[in-house]
Amino acid sequence: PPACPFIKFLASRHRLVYPPFFIMSLVKAFENRSAVIGVVGLGYVGLPIILNFAAKGFQTIGFDVDASK
């Protein structure tokens, strides 16, 4: 299966070595839209991000200290 560019980016930035099964399960969760996306802060950046993930079929959870958001 093709490697997820985001996972490749994370792997290139972190010194932690994740077991291959963890990486593959994460990639599969993104590919089949079973990953739950959480965003902290629903302002100018967080809200559009969470809306885009929701529009793509992901289950999303948003949190903000302002209850009106």
pTM of structure: 0.65
pLDDT tens, residue order, the chain (69 aa): 456 677 667 666 666 566 677 778 888 898 899 999 999 999 999 999 999 999 999 999 999 998 876
Q: What are φ and ψ of residue 28, in 5° steps?
A: -60, -40
30: three-class secondary structure by DSSP: helix
Axis-axis angle for helices 20-31, 5-13 (nearest 10)? 140
